[in-house]
Amino acid sequence: MSDILTIPRPDDWHLHLRDGAMLQAVLPETTRHFARAIIMPNLVPPVVTGAHAAAYRERILAAMPEGADFTPLMTLYLTEDTDPEDVAAAAASGLVTAVKLYPAGATTNSASGVRDFDKVRPVLEKMAEIGLPLCVHGEVTDPEIDIFDREAVFIERVLDPVRQATPGLKVIMEHVTTKDAVDYVTGVDAGLGATITAHHLVINRNHILVGGIHPHYYCLPVAKRELHRKALVAAAVSGDARFFMGTDSAPHLDGAKESACGCAGCFTATNAVAVVAEVFDSEGALDKLEGFLCRNGAAFYGLAVNSGSLTLTRAAPQVFPENVATADGPVTIFDPARPIHWTVSPDT
């Protein structure tokens, strides 16, 4: 395999940018490598209408580093009060690219999410009609369900019934973490894709819990057993176009992570491309890297592959910065827990 690869500029099909000082600090970490990203709407308050999405997009564009070439792809936060016509209008104008489903209480800032799926059926039917994709945080939140089983139970209780009841609805299972999810996606003929994060490709639940609690590896959905990590790697490197990159890069101030009730999320925008390249290299699958990073997601969303390119170079293991500074404090950058031999350089 070559020590130098040139690929189109990739997309991040699942990204948290937050707002305010955090947005200002973390946006450059994404625009350095990625040409587009699906922007998560779980702000406080959430981005629930077209007007909210337009205002948030303007704040992102205002925070862009000088000379950056980056397109934020906006989403709406699905609630039980979402207006189908507002969704349709936002999609028709080109403002939004998808709608995001959070089961209420599933993750950070998800309290406004869905509890009664019958109440959002008109929105889902309108989305199927106009071809607007639904991005799904795939976990149930029932307290009696073990946290390590919540993704598998969601597929059975929620996702499959929703898909059966809404023919034609395009769905992306975001940040899949289990063999169950991989098997479900590969068993579907059309209309279903899945994003896989860099961190779920390299860590399992031991990284969170062995030798003490490691808060910067804690995310939701939580990392699972090693057999599930291996299933994710196999799916990512398979070349199957239903799987593509979504970092779920989720910045939190260190004080919020390193606390008695630490926030869920791994901040990976800085090194996600290099980490994924290392995984594909270790699996002898560098020929599949471009598909996973640059082509599969664009095809699923019906978009062209980006112009511009990145050059990846295999060299001595690199040392990443420990954190990104914000006006409110540092945000720790994800430690991949293995040597990363790939450097990433945008072509000019």
Burial of residue 304, with CB atoms counted within 10 A of its CB: 0-12 exposed, 13-18 middle, 19 or more buried: exposed
- Alpha helices, DSSP H, located in 131-271: 150-154, 160-165, 179-186, 198-202, 205-209, 226-237, 254-257
Q: Which of 240, 248, 281, 335 is catalytic?
A: 248
Distance CA 111, CA 100 (A): 13
Burial 103-128 (b: 16+ CB within 10 A, else e): beebbbbbebbbeebeebeebbebbb
Structure tokens at 16: 């948290």
Q: Which of 136, 223, 198, 141 is nearest to 173 (CA)?
A: 136
248 labelled catalytic: yes
Query: What phi and psi values does residue 133 have, to the nearest 5 degrees?
Result: -70, 155
| CA distances (Å), origin 332, targets 26, 265, 327 | 11, 11, 14
Which residues participate in catalysis according to the annotation?
A: 248
